[in-house]
Structure 1
Amino acid sequence: MRRATGNPGKRRTVTRTPATGAAMTLRLIRREIRGDLPLLACLAVLVATLTALCAWAPAAAGRQEDRALKQRIAAAQAQAPVVTLSATPEVLASDPPRLDMARLLGDGRALHDRLGGPAARHLTFAPGGGYDYSPASVTAPRPPDGTVSSTELTLSHLPDAQGRLRYVGGHAPAEHTPVGTPPQIALSQSTARALGVGAGRRLDVGFTPTPGVQQAPPRAVLQVSGVFVPTPGADGFWSGQSTLVQPSRHPAARATGTVLVARGLVGTDAADLLARAGVSGPLVTWQLRADLGPRAVDQARALSGALSQYGPDLNVALCQGVDQITGDISCHVGRQATGSLRVIDALTPLLDDFAAQDDQARALAWFAVDSLAAVVLATTAVAVRLLLRRREDHLRLQRARGASTARLVLLRSAVAWPVVAAAGLLGYAAGRYAAPTGSSGTPQPLIALAAACAVALTVSLMTWVAVRERSRPRRRGRPRRIRVGGRRLVMECTVLVAGAAGVAALRSQGPDPVLGAVPALLAVVAVLVLLRLHPPVLGLVRRWTGRRRGTAGFVGVARAAHDAPATGMALFVMVLTLGTAVFGGLVQRTVDLGLSGGAAWSVGADAGATTEGNTVPAPGVLTGTAGIRMAVQNLHNLTLVGQADGAVISPVAVVTVDPRQLAAVAPESPLAGVLRSALAGAPPSRPSGGAPLPAVVSAGLRAQERTGGFTATVQADGQPRAHLTLEPRGTLTAAELRDPLLGPLSARIPAGTPLLITTASAEYLMAQQSSGSTVLLLHDEGSAAGEAALRSAAARVLGPQARFRDRSATLNTLRHDGLTRGLVTVYATSSALAALAGLLAVALELILTAHERRRTTSFLRALGLGGREARAMHVLQLLPLAVASAVGGTALGLLEPRLMEQALDLRQFTGGPAQPALRADGSLTVALVASVVALVLTAAVTETALARRRRPAEDLRPG
């Protein structure tokens, strides 16, 4: 390129080399950077925040998920082992019969080692497995109760029980019995009293003979080594060991009197001594405990696949033949021949339930995350817009001097892109440094790169829009206003269709990371509606102010109507920020209120106790504690026969309850009122076998037998038959089936099982069974009895083995659940960051439009406008923006959950049977709206204060 210099009469040319052009470009870039430093710093902060969140947030969320999963596994393992292996040793196949139980229990470690891979590291072998014999008949001594015709005693070896009991007489059974002495057994205090024995006494027992091998039952002598009482504990261990603590009774099948069913503890080598006496092998159990590390969620995925094939793989590897005596499959655990191995897996269902809840929590979290990303990108657009407005004259001059569109875009990109890149790298590095290590969540570098690229491309695209060369309109064509209006209408219709499609997709398939952007799309729809409503509403206000005295109101409203389209981005940011915060408050409030219902559903009343088997409390025991009301519910799984058509319906969950007791426990419960009226005609406490019992049934059971009643025949092992006739007098509605009084029982009823509730009189017709469940509901009448008194009352009715649950403690556990706390944290953090970004966007938008407002105010001040009127005009100019933001954001936050109600399954967090009703957090909503209005009014006051320091001539001067 050549340029003429010097005297016109004597032309001299200077050649500009590429190095000189590059140096000038670099100087121009540095000058641009210095001039745009504040706004470039704003872009850097936004990019650094986005990239830091991409590195820190996934790791923090993963750590919260790991804590939640380990919390649930620990609670489950406190109740029972999550994985159990069992097999029956074949002791009679050897001569003489021998059973080295200590070695066999230790060989369970080899079974654990066959898991292999990561599953073997995360499932640890629990030393000291146990074994249980089939019930033996106690022949001597005779129980002191003359009504007891026979006694059935189960021998068990439970190492886990030793730390949960206390000996009041004697000592624990010996692990190595001295030579020449019989096997030792420890009994609970209740069992010892029922048998009439104490420490040092002996029991003669007879075992069931092995079919095809023994003709007579083998007999053995046991020595009572000690008497114990269980220590109270909250881990629920004794809930599955009911007969070990308290013996049960049932009528004898073919004789008068009752059968006493009891259980005792034996030492490790008792199995070898019994094997020498000809007793067949017991059922041996080994336990595996889940021991997850810091990356619990990732490690759990490896467990599910390994456990699904664990049982079949064990039998394939260890079972190679058929037992010659019994004909069953013969396996070998170590050197001991056993029957087939069985794996009871309670861990996989727990992991599946957690995975479903975790997916729902992540889906809800995406709403907040995507909204935050939209707010930050919108703030970036506002910052770039202000940057280009400041450079508008400069860009126009460069364009007039011949600079191409591509050169101007590249120049602006060369200024902004290095800042964006440096900020992105620093932010991601800071996020990686602050992120917790060793969690299941991992940083997302690709998302961070996409966020930085989105900001950089926003700069380039908006620069191109600002400096591109407009095409000249044709002479014969539609007016510009018509063309612009048509394009706006097409754009608005497109956004409306996209918003409707997003809501429909959410309602049909549930939320996911992509559909998490639907709230941002709905915010755009809300802004478009507000911008359409702005002109007519402000027009009405302007006409009203025009009829009043003074010009401040009229001019302020007119300026607000004129600036409304220009403040659309600020309106979008404020609406989306406020809508996300209101939405998060609604979710948090709904979950918090739903937790109370979930706790009530889990417990049933102020407190509840549950035990295995059916128990009928002694007369008067339910009213023995002042200030505490109690009601007993017994659950039976029966087969019913329809009286009309003889159809067999099985299984049916039959619940027996005294409606008067239930009404006393929950006087305000609709279900208690229905049962009290429907079961009012119950027969006396001991009805005859042919008298019909009133009942209420579920809709599913009524549909299978529409007209008649039901009959049932109940017969437990070794007990006489009981015949029941049930007469339905009502049908339970869906709301009554979700009554908290049925919560503890519903947890024990498989989904879809028909339900029938009848009077407690049916218990007198049926013998006690070990297959059902008994639930005790307790209500504190206001005497402030406290948890200790409620627990004592439950232990007196159902025994110390009952699992006790207090509603306040259960509610506290639900509120501190890891997933619930993590969801609340996500919304709180996202709302706070979105509010900061929104505040920045509003400030930049107000700066962008401040010059026109100052010119209008200065012009009116030059004509004599007073300071008070100037302040009022500033407020009126910005007040419509505040009102529109408050109305749009509140409406968006309240309508979003209702539009997507089918996708918001909050039952995963509340523990209740039904979706909790959506409840907005009124105090939070009012506080947020007040904050938005206060923000805009503060900006108006600040502008007024700054305008008073300027002379009108400064703002009215051209340029």
Structure 2
Amino acid sequence: MIVAALVLVLSFIATAAPIAMGVLGDAALRDRLAGLSATERDVVADSPSFPQLPALDPYPPTETGAVWGEFAAALEDIRTSADSPLPTVLGPAHAVASVSGLPILEDPATKLLTMAFSPGYESELRMTEGELPGPAVEEGGGYRVEVVMSAETARELEWAVGEQRHLREDDAPYVVVLSGVFEAADPRSDFWQHVRSVIEPQIFDDGNRARQVTGTAFAHPSSSATAWMYDGLGGRAGTTVWYPADVDRIESDDAEQTVAALNKLTSVGHTVGSSAQGAGILSLKFDAEITAEIELALAQAATTAGVIAMLVAGPVGVAVAVLILGCRLILESRRPGLRLLSARGASLGQLRGLLTVEGALIGVVPAIVGAALAVVIGAVAFGAAPGAAGLVPALLLALAPIAILVVLAPSAAERQVRTDLGRRGSRLRLISEGVITGFAGVALVLLFVRGYSDGVDLLLAATPLLLSLVACLVTLRVYPLPLSAILARSRASRGADVFLGSARALREPSIGLTPVLALVVGVSVAVSSGILLSALQNGVAEASRAQIGADLRIAGATFTRDELEQVKAVDGVAAAAGISGADSVTLEIGGDRRGTSAFVVDAADLRAVQGDGPGMLPPGVSIEPSDDPMPMVVAGATADIIDGSDEVSAGGVEAEVVGVTRGPVPTGARENWITFDSFYADEVLGLDPSDRTVLVRLEADAERDAVEQDLRTILGTQVRIDTAAEIAARIESGPAVQGVRGALLLATGVAAMLSALAIAMTLALAAGPRARVLALLRTLGAPPRSGASLALWEIGPPTIAAVVAGTVFGALVPLVVLAAVDLRPFTGSSVAPAYVIDPAILALTLGGFLALATLLTAIALLVSRRIRAAGALRTVEEG
């Protein structure tokens, strides 16, 4: 029954594992993609022009299709001709063309207008006053164009419904009439993430000049024909096109195919116009930030599979050994009958046939039941099923008892001999130990030389198991040494328990390779699981603190100098600093030109906010202006590009690298960047860019909720405010980290169960000789406690040695894992997590293992004491 139960449990776990890995991969992918904003998720292209205009009659046009039809058809053709599965993942394209920076002539110094044109825009609006705009009409030699805008924009521009403003007032006037005011039909719609400035106007107020308001208004899509390239209108033209990505259609099974298709789509420009038609967009080059996220999810899944394969390799080896022990128990119980059948003329083939039937009952049937349970639960609970390869482990488990019983059948039919006599097999033992040690050394060297390959790496999976075998062999060689010393000292003692127990442990060791292997691997799994969990938790915490770089990180909008000063004045705010968005800049390194991204900061403010904690600036580094070359801090990848060169300039300004930051920073996941003080912004970039991130350090007694409320009042409710604790909680609650944590704990629990079973089976195998000795001792007047004493001496010394060896070995395994496997996808950092031991986590894993193993062993010891002397003496077979 024990073997059948073990086969059932192992087959269930083996069949459920690939199902769980598939479900975990899908969940991790969903979790990562669901957290992306629309601008990060969708496939986007920007062009500094408008779509080409076809031949129009009448002019100005009145139909949207007449202006946008050919462009929309070209965009749809790009989508439908993309490689699978993109046509189903990407939705029909959205496009917004705009002309920005148009001075309103009634107040040109403080009020500017951006006119936007987008087919289908009306579905995103809910009119609160007035009506949607109609097509542009010709009037007075110019054009009269109706627009709608948000209530907030109309209020800031002081523009009432029905009023008109002028963008040109000469012989070809351009009159804009506000036909209505709207609010977003769904403020959370992805559409508004691509056109952020429509709902709320852009306000620039640096205190040095008059407050300037730029509002965006939607006109009828056909009116774009009158706005672009209109003589004297000016402004900056541009078109944004995006394909909305449905992340629910991206499965882990086709994620790699999706990445390949996205890379192909974004690697080339796509023709959407002809030079024969005149000015306008000729081609579009798309960008897909989602590609990096899918690749990161795939890397995370591959690392998860590698780590789990490494963890389960040891328990798998132990499970095989425990199955062998269980089959030996069956053979011991069948030995009298098999010997009798053999003595009466039964052939070895007939004996094997009988054992095959029993092996099928305890192997095939439980394996089928266990695999079926896993398949049913997977289908009902998760809608997932294993492939043909996923059923192979269950098949092997079904056949394992049959194979073991058939192989061991001859020994069961033979007369037992005393294993403690003679030295036969010592040479074979030395050869076996040398081969195992050699394989372990070669595997370890190859792992470090060749490195880790993605996914289930057989070399990585085999290396810890081979090393655990070496640790097991060392344990078996070393533990008799102190035992011999104990035996020598016990000869002079009055008690017999120590002398007899140590002598039997040396002469007739009932505990051999299998239980020692189980304990060494089990303890090592518990210890290594605790250390790996500690490393992951510490890595997540460090990465989270570096991503924030302060107490609070604010993003999701463009922040003015005036808003930053208001943030600094909030009660509870000790300091605040702004970080610009990424601007492209050229690095010149010894004559070579390389592109990078530049972030502009106020060095003093940033240091005051960050302090000495992780973030944008390395500890003790200052980038405040000096008379020397411009000081700048660079990312690790940028430092590798510069490679220590002294001839460095950024945007033509001589620069000096004063610090290198490796790892996450508050500005996002870019790996190639530089940062410098705003004093040099005009000289390097030609402008002082607006801040896109604000970092805040709080007073010690500040109430965070109250501060956040004040910040949202100043900066708007749409901003995102994050803390290190929230980032860490978000990462740790993700399916990938939860999956690895669950796998580590499950491996510890399975190892504890197998270790306890190995000890219990070993005690059961040695019950006969122990009962014989105990019966003789009781006839001589030995106390009842002698039975437990003998059992403890059988398993105690090698168990203690195995626990010590397993602890040492388990502390070394994470060094191999951390060196070979990239755990950065789990922490969200570009720096690998360090080797860390958290006492609380280690106590949980190792303590849980020891508690479970001890409980099951105690039960086995309790059963072993219920031996009656008479029965034991009657069943003695002399060897």
The two structures have a TM-score, normalised by structure 1, of 0.76
Cα distance, 1:136–1:656 mapped onto 2, change above 3 Å? closer
Q: Cα gap change, 1:464/1:752 in structure 2, threshold over 3 Å: closer, same or farther?
A: farther
In the alignment, structure 1 residue 661 sits paired with structure 2 residue 605? yes
Compared CA separation, residues 707 and 199, structure 1 to 2 (3 A)? same
Map residues 623-772 of structure 1 onto 2, 5 A cutoff: 623-629=568-574, 630-634=576-580, 637=583, 639=585, 647=591, 649-669=593-613, 678-679=622-623, 682=625, 694-695=631-632, 700=639, 710=649, 712=651, 728=656, 731-733=658-660, 736-738=661-663, 743-745=665-667, 747=669, 749=670, 751-753=671-673, 755=674, 757-762=675-680
Aligned residues: 845
Cα shift at 1:384: 1.0
Q: 1:359: how far off?
A: 0.8
Q: Tell me the SS of whatever aligns to 1:793.
A: helix
**d(CA) in 2 for partners of 1:221 and 1:179?**
10
Deviates more, 1:380-389 or 1:600-609: 600-609
Deviations 1:636-661 (A, max 9, x none): 6465787xx98465435444444443
Cα separation, 1, equivalents of 2:75 and 2:789? 83
CA contact (8 A) 2:772 2:876 kept: no
Mark the runs of 5 or more structure 1 residues left unpaired by the alignment. Answer: 1-40, 208-215, 329-337, 471-479, 684-689, 714-723
Contact 2:632 2:659 in 1 (8 A): no
Once the 2 structures are TM-superposed, how far is the Cα of residue 381 of structure 1 from its aligned partner? Answer: 0.3
Q: Which residue of 2 aligns with 1:514?
A: 458
Aligned to 1:501: 442
**Equivalent in the alignment of 2:528:** 583
Change (3 A) 1:879 1:646: closer
The residue that corresponds to 1:274 in the other structure is: 226
Match of 1:155 in 2: 116
Quote the Cα distance in structure 2 between the aligned partners of 1:217 and 1:602. Answer: 56
Q: 2:783 aligns with which of 866, 869, 890?
A: 866
Provide the secondary structure at the position in 2 that maps to 1:731. Answer: strand
Give the match's secondary structure for 1:292: helix
Picking from 190, 199, 203, the partner of 2:165 is 203
Aligned partner (choices 834, 840, 849) of residue 766 of structure 2: 849
1:615, 1:774 within 8 Å by CA — same for their partners in 2?
Answer: no
Is residue 222 of structure 1 aligned with residue 176 of structure 2? yes
Match of 1:360 among 303, 316, 323: 303
CA deviations over 1:175-195 (Å, ceiling 9, x no partner): 778999943435567765775
Q: Who is 2:368 aligned against?
A: 425
Q: Distance in 1 between matches of 2:650 and 2:86?
A: 51
In the alignment, structure 1 residue 265 sits paired with structure 2 residue 210: no
In structure 2, do the counterparts of structure 1 residues 780 and 173 end up closer, same or farther at CA, with 3 Å as the change threshold? farther
Asked if 2 retains the 8 angstrom alpha-carbon contact of 1:242 and 1:801, the reply is: no
State the partner residue of 1:57: 17
SS of residue paired to 2:85: helix
Please state whether the residue corresponding to 2:56 is helix, strand or coil.
coil
1:196 CA drift (Å): 5.2
- 1:530 is displaced (CA, Å) by 0.7
SS, match of residue 608 in structure 1 = strand
1:596 aligns with 2:541: yes
Aligned equivalents of 1:431 and 1:954: distance in 2?
43
Letter of the 2:7 partner, please give it.
V
Structure 1 residues 370 and 941: CA distance shift in structure 2, 3 A? closer
- 1:494 corresponds to which letter in structure 2? V
Change (3 A) 1:203 1:844: same
Residues 673 and 155 (structure 1 numbering): CA distance in 2 closer, same or farther, change over 3 Å? closer
8 Å contact from structure 2 (residues 41, 288) kept in 1: no
Partner of 1:135, secondary structure, is strand
Structure 1 residue aligned with 2:244: 288
Equivalent-residue separation in structure 2 for 1:666 and 1:80 (angstroms): 27
Give the whole-Å Cα distance in 1 for the aligned partners of 2:422 and 2:816: 36
Residue aligning to 1:335:
none
Give, as a single letter, the amino acid of the residue that structure 1 aligns with 2:436: V
What is the distance in 2 between the residues matched to 1:860 and 1:233?
A: 86
Residues in 2 aligned to 1:325 and 1:842: alpha-carbon distance in whole angstroms:
85
8 Å Cα contact 1:546-1:554 kept in structure 2 = yes
Q: Which amino acid aligns with 1:382?
A: L
Q: Which residue of 2 aligns with 1:82?
A: 42
SS in 1 for 2:495: coil
Task: Answer yes or no: is the 8 Å Cα contact 2:314–2:465 preserved in 1.
Answer: yes
In the alignment, what sits opposite 2:498? Answer: 553
Q: Which residue of 2 aligns with 1:10?
A: none
CA contact (8 A) 1:879 1:937 kept: no
**RMSD between aligned residues:** 4.5
Aligned to 2:404: 458
Which one has the largest radius of gyration? 1
Q: Deviations over 1:322-357 (max 9, x none)?
A: 42434x8xxxxxxxxx74354433343332221111
SS at match of 2:18: helix
Change (3 A) 1:871 1:160: farther
Matched AA of 1:285: V
1:135 paired to 2:100: yes
Cα distance change of structure 1 residues 769 and 199 upon mapping to structure 2, 3 Å threshold = farther
Pairing of 1:291-370 with structure 2 (within 5 A): 291-292=247-248, 296-310=251-265, 322-326=275-279, 339-370=282-313
CA change 1:313–1:820 in 2 (3 A) is same
Counterpart CA distance in 2 for 1:794 and 1:573 is 58
Question: Any stretches of 5+ residues in structure 2 without a counterpart?
Answer: none
Q: Match of 1:8?
A: none
Of residues 815-824 and 388-397 in structure 1, the stretch that sits farther from structure 2 once superposed is: 388-397
Cα distance in 1 between the residues matched to 2:633 and 2:263: 41
Change (3 A) 1:784 1:227: farther
Q: State the 1:615 CA deviation.
A: 4.8
**Shift in alpha-carbon separation, 1:822–1:225, aligned structure 2, 3 A:** farther
Residues 63 and 828 of structure 1: is their aligned pair in 2 closer, same or farther, counting only changes over 3 Å? Answer: same
Distance 1:342 1:496 in 2: 57
What is the SS of the residue equivalent to 2:579?
strand
Q: Distance in 1 between matches of 2:642 and 2:76?
A: 53
Following the alignment from structure 2 to structure 1, what is the Cα–Cα distance between the partners of residues 471 and 186? 59
Q: Give the drift of 1:704.
A: 6.1
Q: What amino acid does structure 2 have at the position aligned with 1:131?
A: V
Q: Deviations over 1:850-887 (max 9, x none)?
A: 22222223323322323456544443443224313322
How far the C-alpha of 1:767 sits from its partner, in A, is 8.1
TM-score when normalising by structure 2: 0.82
Per the alignment, do residues 803 and 160 of structure 1 end up closer, same or farther by CA in structure 2, a change over 3 Å counting? farther
Matched residue type, 2:847: A
